Structure 1
Amino acid sequence: MAKKEKKEKKQAPLEGEEVIVENKQMSLGVILPLILILAVIGSIGGTILTNKFILPPVVVGADTAQNTGSGRITEDQIIVPMEEFLVNLAQGEKGKDQYIRVTLSLLVGGEKDSAEITKNVAVIRDSIVNTLRQKKSEDILGSAEGVANLKSELRDTLNQSYGKTIVGEVFITDFVIQ
């Protein structure tokens, strides 16, 4: 049997009547891509504006020495990366075993000091491990100056182990306490 479809006749509005037009809602499949496109364009535009107007210009070929706590790194100084240290910390108030995993780099005065550090890695590692084993996590994380104090103490301990100033600065490149 054929289905009969009812067709409604739409009448033209009479004079003085308002025409109510139903707005079709945009589907979610259209709105989400539009929002995504606007977000990407906004991010790119914001990055361009920030780099062009807010950040200071970078001069190519300028002196790019890094600032450290003790001054600038000069051309003859060398940064010597060390292997990772995994050390038990001293037991804190909680009486729980805690560990520190830290990777360091040492700033030395030149090729001669770099070769000496590389040659005597056992002395460096022993000094660092012994210093870290005496620390509690509260000593390192308890104050804003805790990490800076640790770096200074490591530098002083290493220089004391050598009997001369060989390490100018200690840089912590990776740091986890658990």
Structure 2
Amino acid sequence: MKYINNRALVVLLSLFSLQSMAVEYQPELATAVFPKAQLQPLIERTYGEMSRRYTIFAEQFNYCQQKPKSEDCQKPYEEVKQRYTAAKALYDTVEMTLLPQFIFLESPKSSWQSLNIALVNLHYLDAALPVEQLTEAQLLPAVNQWLIAHELPTTDTLYLLQTLLIESDNLQQQ
């Protein structure tokens, strides 16, 4: 539960800070780093996960409208709502980072901890690295393994979009 709160916070902070960090769009580089043919299915899966979680939330919401005193309308309802909110925030942030002025944003250090955990959950890292020792260089080999597994080009820069797509993949596994 705490991890979901932290992840949602990182996603929301990333979303709000994007405006001030816009970078110059380079179409050729964008196509090379994020080929549309490989990127589109990942975005569709991110949307699909958000949609799936919304359906679960909507069903729970409707149930709780009819039986508000049910035990399922307390903590379980809040958990379902929180899972949907996290998935929606993640999808919205992915959509925003696809805009030309945001596609080359580098992943902020504040997102490395959740990326670290996602890479462990997805079996690209054996164990979580200590937070105080996290560096881009330590995360990049695992990120590149994930990129290869998803037929994307490897990188020497950790981009926010890559981080978000890995987070999305992790969400789908839960």
TM exceeding 0.5? no
Q: Report TM bin, short chain.
A: under 0.3
Which has the greater radius of gyration? 1
More strand per residue: 1
TM-score (norm 2): 0.26
